[in-house]
Amino acid sequence: MKISKINKKLLTIPLLLLIFTILISFPVYATSTAKSNISQSSTFSSTNYNISPASQPNISTATQSIIYVSSTGNDGWSGKSPIWNGIDGPKKSIGNAIKAINTGGTVKIASGTYKENNIAITKNMIIQGEQNTVIDAQHLNRILTISPGIVVKINNLKFTNGQSSSGGAIQNKGSLTLTSCIFSNNKVPNYGGAINNVNSSLIIKSCSFSDNTAKAAGAISNVYGNLAVINSTLSNNIANGGGGGSIINSRGSMTINSSTFTNNKAFSNTGGAFYSVSGPLTVNQNKFTGNTASNMGGAIYCENTVGKTCFDRNNFDNNAAGRGGAIYWCNGSLTVSSNTFTSNKADGSSGAVYIDGTGLSDPNHSNVNIVKSAFNGNTANRFGGAVYNNGLCNIDSCYFTSNTANIDGGAVANAQGNLVITSSTFKDNRAANNGGALYGYYGTIKVTYSTFVNNNALNLIYKDIFYYKTSIILQNNKFS
């Protein structure tokens, strides 16, 4: 059947009306959808941080001078705001912020725990935490690695559970200043449980290091670098196979001022608190308490120091070692001024200070001056309850009271060394055998203007001083 021209026209009119209706409706639908999306965005609050990065513009690589980080942030945001402000908010990870920050900029990290590791710092910056900002590496890797020549300042961060071959928390090859930071439970199989500083500058101010572990340098290893530790606390750090329960300074310079070392241990080796070899050293106004070394230097082991070293106004209490319960000194010039040594112990000789010139071309190269210092209640299982010398030792204006040696030299033992004692007091010291105050075996001894009171020994004839094949001079002394 043929359709008439009129019928064809009637069919065409509804079709045109349908198309016209669709075209008119589409913009209305699109506008309505856009309004709906804007309405949803406007409801975000400062706590609504968990937006999928896929729904946000990719601005993770934006650079700026300040970047904020929050544990509830988003790495898709630029970090320009410390909280979500409806447009932008903080980054979620420290590593992302460090990549995005401008050279010389500041990364500000809110309180919280950030489970991150293996973060490389390749540009100058400041990293600022808050009171409870923690980076937890979960023993998966080192936390930070600072490239050579890079200047970094880090404040108010806690570094925990870092683990690597060396420098469990930080490997520094740049210039690093740490202020008010905490390092705990970091560990390595080699050097520097918390920090490994290599040919670089490291300044530590008002920081705490505890329970860090390494084969050597339980907390900090400084090799060919410059290290300063100021007003800080180092406790319960362990070197389980080498020296330096807390610190090793090897061929670098080290300054330690106004800090506290407590219960650090060097198992099977030397320097319960720290070990220093072949570098300049300054140690002033510190407290060393309960540190131990199975071999030498319960608190401090020093060898081949450069220049004149001064230990000024330090306290050494209850430290213990095989030799030198507090200090072991070999080959260098040291002045010990206004220090106190109390209840330190040695399984061998020297409850407090061991001066070793053995094997040197000239024993006098181990040169120690002890001035205005006090030794009380120190004990040696063999010789020299307080001091053992076979180098060159000058003792001036010091007090020795109630020190004990289980063989000879209740206070001081001189074995083939050169010893000068001036204007000092020896009281209530005891030796199980000879020389309740002073024992000499070969070498030279000169004692002037000193006082000996109630010192005791098994051999009462020599209850104060005993010497054997020793060149000795005694002038203007008082015995009672």
Give residue-wise pLDDT tens across range 223-269. 999 999 999 999 999 999 999 999 999 999 999 999 999 999 999 89
In order of 45, 47, 90, 353, the CA distances from 42 in angstroms are: 9, 13, 18, 72
Q: What are phi and psi of 359, to 5 degrees?
A: 80, -5
Nearest to 223 by CA among 202, 252, 203, 245: 252
What is the percent of the chain with per-residue pLDDT over 70, rounded to a whole number? Answer: 87
CB–CB of 175/148 below 8 Å? no
- Whole-number pLDDT of residue 64: 84
Nearest to 297 by CA among 233, 337, 345, 263: 345
CB–CB of 414/390 below 8 Å? yes
Which residue is listed with tokens 């407590």? 262
Measured over the CA atoms of residue 213, residue 215, residue 218 and residue 221, the dihedral's sign is negative
Domain boundaries, the chain: 53-479
Q: How far apart, in whole angstroms, are the C-alpha atoms of residue 330 and residue 335?
A: 13
Q: What are phi and psi of 55, to 5 degrees?
A: -90, 0
Nearest to 211 by CA among 264, 247, 172, 170: 264
- Whole-number pLDDT of residue 63: 54
CB within 8 A of 90, min separation 6: which ones? 49, 68, 69, 70, 73, 74, 77, 79, 81, 82, 83, 84, 110
- Whole-number pLDDT of residue 268: 84
Pair of tokens at residue 26: 């589409």
Q: Is the pLDDT of residue 41 over 70?
A: no
The dihedral region occupied by 130, where left means phi > 0, alpha psi between -120 and 50, and beta the remainder, is: beta
Q: How far apart, in whole angstroms, are the C-alpha atoms of residue 136 and residue 463?
A: 60
Task: Say how many residues make up the chain.
Answer: 480
425-427 and 451-453: which strand pairing?
Answer: parallel
Instruction: Give residue 73's identity as a one-letter amino acid code.
Output: G
Measured over the CA atoms of residue 398, residue 401, residue 405 and residue 407, the dihedral's sign is positive
- DSSP output for 289-341: ES-EEEEE-SSEEEES--SEEEEES-EEES-EEEE-SSEEEESEEEEEES-EE
- Whole-number pLDDT of residue 204: 98
- Whole-number pLDDT of residue 76: 96
CB within 8 A of 187, min separation 6: which ones? 139, 162, 163, 168, 193, 212, 213, 214
pLDDT 10s digits, 75-133: 999 999 999 999 999 999 999 999 999 999 999 999 999 999 999 999 999 999 999 99
Q: How far apart, in whole angstroms, are the C-alpha atoms of residue 109 and residue 106?
A: 10
Average pLDDT score over residue span 177-194:
98
Confidence of residue 36 (pLDDT cuts 50, 70, 90): very low
The dihedral region occupied by 175, where left means phi > 0, alpha psi between -120 and 50, and beta the remainder, is: beta
Nearest to 199 by CA among 274, 245, 251, 247: 251
CB–CB of 220/195 below 8 Å? yes
- Whole-number pLDDT of residue 48: 30
Reported as half-sphere exposure (CB side, CA atoms, 13 A), residue 153 has a value of: 10
- Whole-number pLDDT of residue 205: 98
Q: Is the pLDDT of residue 345 over 70?
A: yes
Which residue is listed with tokens 């856009």? 34
Q: Is the pLDDT of residue 35 over 50?
A: no
CB within 8 A of 327, min separation 6: which ones? 297, 299, 300, 302, 311, 316, 336, 352, 353, 354
pLDDT 10s digits, 351-385: 999 999 998 989 999 999 999 999 999 999 999 99
Confidence of residue 6 (pLDDT cuts 50, 70, 90): very low
Nearest to 244 by CA among 225, 217, 214: 217
DSSP state of 186: -
CB–CB of 259/227 below 8 Å? no
Pick from 72-86, 164-178, 362-376, 449-463: least confident: 449-463
